[in-house]
Amino acid sequence: MRKSQHIITKGQFTVFNEFIQEDWEKEWVGMPEYYNVEKEPPAVTTTFKFRNQEDFELFNQLLKKCVYNGKKVFDGMQRKTVKSSWFPSLIKASRFVYKSETAKTPQFPVYIISKGRWERRQTSKTLESMNVPYRIVVEPSEYKNYASVIDKKKILVLPSDFSKLGQGSIPVRNWVWEHSIKEGHEWHWILDDNIESVERFNNNMKIKCNTSTPFYIIEEFVLRYKNIAQAGMNYALFCPATEARPPIRFNTRIYSCILIRNDLPFRWRGKYNEDTDLSIRVLKDGWCTILFNAFLIGKRATMTQNGGNTNTIYNEGDERLKFAESLQQQHPDVVKIVRRFNRWHHYVNYKLFKKNKLIKKQGINIINKTNNYGMKLIDKVPEKKVAG
């Protein structure tokens, strides 16, 4: 953590002040196990210096041969940018996966909006691996490309190439919203097309899920309440395994993987920051939003690949100053423009929405007991079940 950030301790959590959530424990009932603590930094660190690359490679090979109590002492220093290793070797999250003997499928439709990414199609591949039913929404001009790699039954074709309207994904998002209403649904999921994984965050490990159950769990949580407008999964990037977070965060922005209530008196608008704008509007109207840290998405960073809005919307403006200015013009009461990491950003004061409190539906009786919804942690080496 940066020293400039104020830290507060509450229970088992030592977290940034903006993450303190007074009510999460009473709401996280009948939900999956969630335990993450603040990890202490290493007590001792040692630096090795090498005269040349050959000496380093020899040293690294010797390290990997070291064995203690039948186990490797070091996992080697293989990373290109950070050459480091722990003693003894850390158990890697990639060794595990979450599966379900009887998976729970989403109750509401899952849409992927996609443009120019039929070759990579990260979100489609991710949902396929999780057995999540979905439909991918594409423009007529790209239908053949997507149909060559995705089951045609899973493809929805827009009435025209909406990208020509110059509003990015806004028209597509609104089309999806109306499509789900016409099908008679009360909610719908809308996902970006660059999601590479869905992960469960527990015991300070972020582990990929090969089950559709996380979507169902989020829906089950949301349906307990009368006044949730949106819910979604946080970015794995924003939840370091060494830092504690509550399993849910109230009344903040939801983006990239969004569950939206269909009867909201809003629609997507504008050109930039449409996800943040929609979150702010529903919060101003008194609704609540729920951002899940218990389930995360591994997502490619913006502008790191072609397709989507990369070649149209995201390449506009002076280091994205237009983005920040647009949101500030829409919400001058809660948005400031700041300079961080050599580019312009918007900063939203979500503390103003702490007054928005969840209202539970009548007749909802929840057993105060951990419920993993059948999700099992599987050790892939060898493949065996361990505690959930």
276 occurs within a structural domain:
yes
Choose among 290, 289, 319, 280: nearest CA to 302.
Answer: 319
Residue 15 one-letter amino acid: V
Residue 187 in any domain: the answer is yes
Residue 249 lies in a domain: yes
Distance between CA atoms of 290 and 27, rounded to whole angstroms? Answer: 11
pLDDT of residue 386: 57
Distance, CA of 241 to CA of 236 (rounded, Å): 9
SS3 322: helix
Four-point Cα dihedral 137, 139, 145, 150, nearest 10: 10
Distance between CA 387 and CA 235 in Å, rounded? 25
Asked whether residue 72 is domain-assigned, the answer is no
**Which pLDDT band holds residue 188 (cuts at 50, 70, 90)?**
very high
Tokens of 272: 């930039």
| Cα of 368 vs its chain's centroid, Å | 27
According to the model, what pLDDT value does residue 313 have?
47
What's the token pair of residue 325? 């200015």
Residue 300: burial class (beta carbons within 10 Å; 0-12, 13-18, 19+): middle
Give the tokens for residue 156: 């929805």
Q: What's the pLDDT tens digit per position in 87-144?
A: 767 788 889 999 998 999 999 999 999 999 999 999 999 999 999 999 999 999 999 9
What three-state secondary structure class fits 291? strand
**Conformational region of residue 237, where left means phi above 0, alpha means psi within -120 to 50, and beta covers everything else:** alpha
pLDDT beyond 60 at 351? yes
Distance between CA atoms of residues 106 and 295, nearest Å: 15
Q: Provide the whole-model pTM.
A: 0.85
* Distance separating alpha carbons of residues 51 and 182, to the nearest angstrom: 68
Query: Residues 116, 163: contact at Cβ < 8 Å?
Result: no
104, 373 Cβ separation under 8 angstroms: yes
Structural domain boundaries, residue 171:
7-39+97-353
What's the burial of 198, exposed, middle or buried (CB within 10 Å: 0-12/13-18/19+)?
A: buried
d(CA 87, CA 66): 11
Please give the biggest Cα pair distance in the chain: 71
Of 121, 45, 123, the C-alpha closest to 84 is 45
> Which element (helix H / strand E) includes 378?
strand 375-380
Strand partners, 290: 231, 250
Q: How many domains does the chain have?
A: 1
pLDDT at 316 over 90: no
Q: What is the rounded distance in angstroms from the CA atom of residue 373 to the CA atom of residue 31? A: 8
Average pLDDT, the chain: 86
Beta bridge partners of 97: 378
Q: Residue 279 has what pLDDT?
A: 98
**Least reliable range by pLDDT among 98-112, 197-211, 308-322:** 308-322
Average pLDDT over residues 214-230: 98
Does some domain include residue 92? no
188 compared with 16, residue with greater pLDDT: 188
Average the pLDDT over 279-284 and give the result: 98
- pLDDT of the residue at 43: 84
Give the model's pLDDT for residue 3: 33
CATH number at residue 160: 3.90.550
What size, in residues, is the chain? 388
Q: Within a domain: residue 106?
A: yes
Which of 254, 189, 197 is CA-nearest to residue 215? 189
Contacts of 89 (CB under 8 A, 6+ apart): 71, 72, 73, 74, 75
- C-alpha torsion angle, residues 173, 176, 180, 181 (rounded to 10): 70
Q: Predicted confidence band at 18 (pLDDT cuts at 50, 70, 90)?
A: very low
- Per the model's pLDDT, the better-predicted residue between 86 and 200 turns out to be 200
Q: Given phi > 0 = left and psi -120 to 50 = alpha, else beta, which region is 326?
A: alpha
Paired residues of 121 in beta bridges: none
How are beta strands 228-235 and 155-157 bridged, if at all? unpaired
Does residue 74 lie within any of the structural domains? no
Residue 335 lies in a domain: yes
